[in-house]
Amino acid sequence: MRRLICVVMLALTACGSGDTRRAGAVDGALCGDPRLQGEALPPMIDGGACAITNPVRVSAIGSVAIGGAPVMDCRTALAFADWTAGGLSRAARKGGRKVSRVDTVASYACRNRYGRVGGRISNHALGRAVDVSAVGFTDGSRLSVLHDWTDTTILQEAAGHACGPFDTVLGPNYNAAHRDHLHLDVTDEYGGATFCR
């Protein structure tokens, strides 16, 4: 019943996500956060358990371009903004660089975990996850998770800083399925704890 009420209310608030800021509430900013740029989308209800009541497509976070046109809910978008402007930027500065772009390879998708036919639904299916494949910098350089994970500490340090804004952070150190991206998601399944590998 609660999900139905959220959908009927046109998802101007992040129903069930712990965030009550309206999408686009601050001078056109997404999710009430002026750092987030992009567009608010109508609710996505794909049947079954797949749904986002307050979807947004993020195109930039401050001056950082976001590649891949990721779609997520406001709670995830706010965590993404906190990490990009915070931990990711700090890790880059420590390495003598400034972030200009974050490339994503997956966001909202109606599927189970690891694309399996059976099993638990993925947080991607709820708009609560985004996968980052690479980071670009103002000097024109680029680091990809697949090719540069072991060659630089920037990506590894940035992944460590993602633990906090996000509840789950999985990367190449976790398993082969994450060898080419950082999976970042917000979830309540750990009872307020984090799972970061």
State residue 76's pLDDT score. Answer: 96
pLDDT of residue 3: 33
153-162 helix and 74-83 helix, angle to the nearest 10 degrees:
140
The predicted structure's pLDDT at residue 191? 64
Length of the chain: 197
pLDDT of residue 159: 95
Q: Which two tokens stand for residue 177?
A: 């399925």
pLDDT at 9: 28
Measure the CA–CA gap between 37 and 91, rounded to whole angstroms. Answer: 23
**Angle at CA 30, nearest 5°, toward 28 and 42?**
100
CB 90 within 8 A of CB 116: no
User: Backbone phi, then psi, for 128, in 5-degree steps?
Assistant: -105, 15
Q: What is the pLDDT of residue 170?
A: 94
Phi and psi angles of residue 163, each rounded to the nearest 5 degrees, phi first: -75, 110
pLDDT score, position 5? 28
- How far apart are alpha carbons 50 and 48 in whole angstroms? 6
Write out the H or E segment, with its range, that includes residue 186: none
Give me the pLDDT at residue 85, please. 96
Predicted pLDDT of residue 116: 61
pLDDT score, position 15: 34
Specify whether the CB–CB gap between 156 and 148 falls below 8 A. no
Mean pLDDT of residues grouped by 10 in the chain (197 residues)?
30 35 54 95 86 94 97 96 97 95 94 70 91 97 95 91 93 90 84 72
